[in-house]
Amino acid sequence: MADTIIASQPTPAWRLAIRHPRRKTLVAFGLLAPSLVLLALFTYWPIIQLTWQSLHGQQRVGGPQVYTGLKNFADLVADPAFRKALVNNLIYAFGTVLPSLVLALGFALALARSNRINTVLRSLFFLPVLLPLVAAASIFLFLFLPNVGLLDYYLAKLALSGPNWLGDPDVALWSIMVLTIWKNAGYYMLFFLAGLQAIPADANEAAILEGANPWQRLRYVTLPYLKPTIGFVLVIGLTNVVTQVDHVFVLTKGGPADATNLLLFYVYQQAVENYEPGRAAAGSLAMLGLLLALTAASLRTLERSFGEPES
Amino acid sequence: MTTTRRSLLAGAALAATFAMTPAFGQSPTEIELFFPVPVDGQLARDMATLIKEFNEGHPAIKVTPVYTGSYDETLIKTRAAMKAGKPPAVSIMSANFLRDLQIEGEIQPLDTLIKADGKSNDQFMGQFFPALSGNAVLDRSVYGVPFHNSTPILYINAEHFKEVGLDPENPPKNWAELAAAAAKLTKREGDRVTRWGIAIPSQYDTGGWLLQALTYSNGGRWFNVDYAGEVYYDEPSTLGALTFWSDLVKNKVLQPGVQQNGAVSTAFLSGQASMMLHSTGSLTFVRSNAKFPLKVAFVPKNLQNQVPIGGASLVVPTGVEGERRKAAWTLINWMTSPEKSGWWSRATGYFAPNMQAYELPEMKAFLDKNPDAKVAVDQLAYARPWFATYKTVPVRKAVEDELANVLSGKKSPKEALVAAQKAADEIMKPYVEQTALKLPGSN
């Protein structure tokens, strides 16, 4: 229909020009060029540089950078701090992504109906997202402050005393995880709210007619419809746990005794504090590989759930 | 088309004018100063004031102060600028980074500049407190000029002292008195501690520094001042110091786990801790925020009074040459002169490295008014260099991670120090193999 309307008018010259196949490719490249240039400059070129750096190191203290093969990668794997950071990052990933997902879904389900109270509550839950991570961490630094912090202040009113939230190697990572969950749940809630809007009303109505209880409706109607959203949020969540360490800088600097050291912070330490650019580059590449694998896996799950026929 | 060409021509003419300007007037030598602010925002404004005064007095030089964040960030940014081929003419660098920078060839010796002024290195360094030489003079060459410095010191809440029957005029002088005072000052409600006798920061950077202070007070050496490949973590003097620290936790007068600098000064200022070991660099901040009578004292000793210095020095990165180098030297000498040194000291609480600063009337008046600042200066007689080795930060972190393990009850002091020594030796191995263990016959 639309085509016939356009065809009935004289076709402008530019439109004819881009219909030519070769021209079409050119135009496509032209349109892609800005982001391609940016990607090349700020993503692909750094990756090439990183790869070069990961294969080079000092042979002599104070000496020039020479080719050292895979030595940096071997050093990386042999470094207990790297293994510790890897394990921490895994605990951190599971311990933050799953709870924030569940919380976000809970918030979204509770606040799905649009009314004035829910709008206010949604904004409240979304508020932490608006804060930069560094600022949020500074606030939590105060909450976690031993003796005088808000947390200990209220515990003291109950005649209790808390642990050293950021200074105890057994507790610090969990304290940091609380911040991450608090910060991210509201963000993921947005996606779930959008996902819930997309569920056709008749699916739920049919389920009610069939006598499904709320739990069954959640399990057999809502969750299957939300699958693509869950996959998407999973990708974002996993990317976040690898790429965001601002709060580690502010709260613990990876301590005590590497208890809160995460991969990206480890890379920073190698590059800056230890002055081992080669090992830092190797660490970055390892992280990049990990991220690509995680994203590919999540995206595949995502596509599969998109491709599923509606039943 | 014509407009484009015309504007191009105009642009070229303009560029030519700019290019020719230096030929007409004597344009000033432009240099940058990278400076960190370890404490708070006020200091950044103080630095701007200081540099403005320099520029007004030196029309041939134009200094642009560049605020570069913390000590660590200043190191990163200086290195990044050097990599890009545009090193700053002067950087204010944490005094314990100088050894690493010298080993990597990233800062230049200042000997020829000192010689051109008709002085020997000893004469030049003679204007500063002797304790500061160890972190500035490396392999007999001067690599840095001390700018502001600190030592650890004991802060005391005099009100709490009186409350429990201790005399604030007679503060703890040794470890036994310190432990006894801490026990007396601690308050409990059942099992819950409501006031800690003492607070000691143990975060990265400060933890190592204070363990060094206790080890020095216990007669120890901590690290080899003359050789960058040796530390003495697994030694009786260090073991005694760490055990003393850990016993404070065991006796429940010091909170277990790692404590951060900010948390410690907050606890002290809010009356949740009655004493604290902290840097003299915090003195101005603590003095102006304490709502109780404040006292300071030397770090208590076990065997001797001895503390490490802290603070920062002015360095000239490698690659700064010619007029820029000369201008850098003029700036450095001006900033470390007795007048400016003293002014900066009064603004910050750091002590002035230049001894002459304390002969000036305004400084004498200041010390009369603030006797606590005088205690900090008096302790300098017992100060020694700050920990600095090949790869200073990770070698220090090796012992700080173990300190954290001890303070949270995960390891005994002995186990911890054996592990710290092993980790530190591993990090310094490449350097040791190419220096002390590089022998004739091997390669």
Question: What number is the ipTM of this complex?
Answer: 0.82
Say yes or no: A49 and A129 in one domain: no
| Contacting residues of B for A148, CB less than 8 Å apart | 266-267, 270, 272
Say yes or no: A43 and A102 in one domain: no
Q: B256: distance to nearest CA of chain A, Å?
A: 7
Query: What is the structure's pLDDT at B128?
Result: 95
Q: A148: distance to nearest CA of chain B, Å?
A: 7
Contact state of B405 with A257 under an 8 Å Cβ cutoff: yes
Domain residue limits at A301: 71-307
**In A, what residues contact B, Cβ < 8 A?**
60-62, 141, 145-148, 156, 159-161, 163-164, 166-170, 253-259, 269, 272-275
Say yes or no: A98 and A33 in one domain: no
Pick the CATH number of B152-308+389-434 from 1.10.3730.10, 3.40.190.10, 3.40.1350.10, 3.40.50.300: 3.40.190.10
CATH code: domain of residue A282: 1.10.3720.10
User: What is the full DSSP assignment across B262-327?
Assistant: HHHHHHHHTTSBSEEEEEGGGHHHHHHH-SS-EEEEPPPBSS---EE-EEEEEE-BTT--HHHHHH
Give how far Cα B337 sits from Cα of A61, B120, B333, B345, Å.
36, 17, 6, 12
**Domain for residue A143, yes or no?**
yes
CB B103 within 8 A of CB A63: no
Query: What is the structure's pLDDT at A83?
Result: 94
Is the omega angle on the peptide bond into residue A256 within 30 degrees of 0, that is, cis?
A: yes
**Domain for residue A6, yes or no?**
no
Residue % of chain B over a pLDDT of 90: 74
Residue % of chain B over a pLDDT of 70: 93
Q: Which residue from B minimizes the CA distance to A146? A: B263
Task: Tell me whether strands B152-157 and B275-279 are parallel, antiparallel or unpaired.
Answer: antiparallel
Q: Distance between CA atoms of A172 and B67, rounded to whole angstroms?
A: 32
Lowest mean pLDDT among B1-15, B172-186, B345-359: B1-15
Query: What is the structure's pLDDT at B423?
Result: 95
| Contacting residues of A for B390, CB less than 8 Å apart | 61
The mean pLDDT value of chain A amounts to: 86
* Domains B25-150+310-384 and B152-308+389-434 are alike in CATH topology: yes
Neighbours of B212 (CB within 10 A): 27
Query: What is the structure's pLDDT at B8?
Result: 47
HSE-up (13 A, CA, CB side) for residue A9: 9
Give chain A's radius of gyration (CA, Å). 26
Say yes or no: A83 and A34 in one domain: no
A154's CB contacts (< 8 A; 6+ apart) are none
**Domain for residue A111, yes or no?**
yes
Query: What is the structure's pLDDT at B53?
Result: 94
Say yes or no: A127 and A270 in one domain: yes
Contact state of A159 with B202 under an 8 Å Cβ cutoff: no
Which of B397, B403, B411, B434 to probe the A interface (max A CBs under 10 A)?
A: B397
Position A215 confidence tier, pLDDT thresholds 50, 70, 90: confident
A25's CB contacts (< 8 A; 6+ apart) are none
Q: Is the pLDDT of residue B313 over 60?
A: yes
Q: Is the pLDDT of residue B323 over 70?
A: yes
Q: Is the pLDDT of residue B386 over 90?
A: yes
> Mean pLDDT over residues B237-247, rounded?
97
Q: Per mean pLDDT, which of A203-212, A220-229, A248-257, B138-147 is the most reliable?
A: B138-147
Say yes or no: A172 and A41 in one domain: no
Say yes or no: A220 and A104 in one domain: yes
Q: Distance between CA atoms of A168 and A105, rounded to whole angstroms?
A: 32
| Contacting residues of A for B263, CB less than 8 Å apart | 145-146
Say yes or no: A107 and A160 in one domain: yes
Q: B401: distance to nearest CA of chain A, Å?
A: 4
Contact state of B257 with A60 under an 8 Å Cβ cutoff: no
Query: What is the structure's pLDDT at B4?
Result: 46
**Domain boundaries along the sequence of chain B:** 25-150+310-384, 152-308+389-434
Number of structural domains (chain A) is 2
Position B159 confidence tier, pLDDT thresholds 50, 70, 90: very high
Say yes or no: A237 and A144 in one domain: yes
Say yes or no: A50 and A174 in one domain: no
Pick the CATH number of B25-150+310-384 from 3.40.250.10, 1.10.569.10, 3.40.50.720, 3.40.190.10: 3.40.190.10
- pLDDT tens-place string over residues A227-239: 888 888 988 898 8
Say yes or no: A81 and A38 in one domain: no
Say yes or no: A129 and A38 in one domain: no
Q: Is the pLDDT of residue B21 over 60?
A: no
Sign (positive/negative) of CA torsion B237, B243, B248, B249? positive
Contact state of A160 with B259 under an 8 Å Cβ cutoff: no
**Domain for residue A62, yes or no?**
no
| Contacting residues of B for A61, CB less than 8 Å apart | 103-104, 390, 430-431, 434-435
Sign (positive/negative) of CA torsion A205, A206, A207, A208? positive
Q: Is the pLDDT of residue A5 over 80?
A: no
Give how far Cα A28 sits from Cα of A19, A309, B119, Å.
11, 33, 70
| Contacting residues of B for A265, CB less than 8 Å apart | none
Q: Measuring CA to CA, which residue among B342, B385, B430 is closest to residue B144?
A: B385
> Mean pLDDT over residues A109-130, rounded?
87
Contact state of A253 with B193 under an 8 Å Cβ cutoff: no
Q: Does B393 touch chain A (CB under 8 A)?
A: yes
Buried b (16+ CB within 10 A) or exposed e, B23-42: eeeeeebebbbbbbbbbeee
> Mean pLDDT over residues B16-20, rounded?
44
| Contacting residues of A for B203, CB less than 8 Å apart | 253, 255
Sign (positive/negative) of CA torsion A37, A42, A44, A46? positive
